[in-house]
Amino acid sequence: MTTIPPATELTNLYINGSYVAPKSGQTYTLYNPSDASIVSEQIPIAGQEDVDAAVAAAEEAFHGEWSKFSSAQRSACLRKLAQLLDEEDRLIKILTLDSLSTGNPVSIIPTREKTYIMGQLLYYAGWTDKLRGDYFPDDDGFVKLVRHEPLGVCAGINPFNAPVATLIMKAAPCLATGNTLILKPSEQSPLGSLAIAPLFEAAGFPKGVFQVLTGAGDTGALLASHMRIRKISFTGSVATGKKIQIAAAQSNLKRVTLELGGKSPAVVFEDANIENALTWTINGILARSGQVCVAASRVYVQRSIADKFIEEYKTRMKAAVEKIGDPLDTATALGPLVNKAAFERVTKMIERGKNEAELVVGGVRHTEQGYFIEPTVFLNPKKDAEIYKNEIFGPVAIVKTFETEEEVLKLANDTEFGLMSGVFTKDINRALRISSRLESGVALRAFTEPKTVLIK
The catalytic site residues sit at: 259
Outline where 20-139 has alpha helix (H): 48-63, 71-86, 90-102, 114-125
76, amino acid identity: A
Closest of 208, 195, 223 to residue 15, by C-alpha: 208
CA distance 153 to 233: 12
**How buried is 383 (Cβ within 10 angstroms: 0-12 exposed, 13-18 middle, 19+ buried)?**
exposed
Instruction: Give the Cβ contact number of residue 401 at 10 Å.
Output: 21
CA distance 359 to 339: 24
SS3 of residue 259 by DSSP: strand
Triad 218, 220, 226: Cα angle to 5°: 100
Contacts with 36 (C-beta within 8 Å, 6 or more apart), sequence order: 340, 369, 370
371 Cα distance to chain centroid:
21
Closest of 157, 318, 175 to residue 243, by C-alpha: 157
CA distance 394 to 397: 9
Contacts with 196 (C-beta within 8 Å, 6 or more apart), sequence order: 85, 94, 164, 167
CA distance 315 to 146: 58
Closest of 317, 286, 285, 320 to residue 420, by C-alpha: 285
CA distance 282 to 287: 8
CA distance 126 to 449: 23
CA distance 113 to 199: 18
CA distance 398 to 411: 12
Triad 13, 15, 16: Cα angle to 5°: 160
As beta bridge partners, residue 210 has 181
Residue pair 176/162 in contact (Cβ under 8 Å)? The answer is no
CA distance 167 to 148: 23
**Phi, psi of 338, deg, nearest 5:** -70, -30
